[in-house]
Amino acid sequence: MIDSQLRTSGVNEPWVLAAMAAVPREDFVPEAMRGAAYIDRAIPLGDGRWLAAPLVHGRMLAEADPKASDKALLVGDGEGYLATLLRPLVGSLDAVPPAEAAHPGEGGYTLIVIDGAIEVLPDALAERLADHGRIVTGEVVNGITRLAVGRRAAGMVSLLPLADIGIPVLPELAAPRRWSF
């Protein structure tokens, strides 16, 4: 995974590689999928959940650039693979399931990482981000998932797409369906 997926795709930050080498992915997949824990695609976890490909998590970590001073929020499984990678890199890590991300909650987070692709960033989630705080997520645009980053400035969060990459979509953060021809 380190040499054949991450390094060859530009994930070369020593701290990202060390974190991902230290956490066995097979501990976070169903027993029947343990032999495929390191494949370069998402792995179904059941109940509509997926473990993103190693490259997705590597790129997310690299773009998040977590610091010991960060108060971080993970939208995803607080006991999952990405949480386990992120927790030792930040000062504190809270987690909310995707279904609760659109609800108001504690704020002041300097880093928010969304473990999946979203069609819309809920206002209540954006409001949890501190001024100049960072956000890393997947973003769905016209059916294509992209890695995106953003910052909160002047009370607003804007996302900048970085790269097309296959990221599991979070249906809880889909845009409302509209009528069209």
**CA 68/CA 55 separation, integer angstroms:** 23
Residue 181 has pLDDT above 70, yes or no: no
33-40 average pLDDT score = 93
In CATH terms, 2-171 corresponds, of 3.30.1300.10, 3.40.50.150, 3.40.50.740, 3.30.70.270, to 3.40.50.150
Please tell me the predicted confidence (pLDDT) of residue 30: 94
**Could you read off the pLDDT of 63-81 as tens digits, one per residue?**
999 999 999 999 999 999 9
Q: What is the 3-state secondary structure (H, E, C) of 85-151?
A: HHHHHCCEEEEECHHHCCCCCCCCEEEEEEEEEECCCCHHHHCCEEEEEEEEEEEEECCEEEEEEEE
Residue 124 has pLDDT above 90, yes or no: yes
Please tell me the predicted confidence (pLDDT) of residue 5: 84
pTM for this predicted structure: 0.93
Q: What is the mean pLDDT of the chain?
A: 94
Residue 14 has pLDDT above 70, yes or no: yes
**CA 118/CA 159 separation, integer angstroms:** 11
**Could you read off the pLDDT of 41-71 as tens digits, one per residue?**
999 998 889 999 999 999 999 999 999 999 9
**CA 73/CA 84 separation, integer angstroms:** 13
User: pLDDT above 70 covers what percent of the chain?
Assistant: 99
CA torsion through residues 82, 31, 38, 19, sign: positive
Enclosing H/E stretch for 16 = helix 14-22
Number of other residues whose CB lies within 10 A of the CB of residue 56: 25
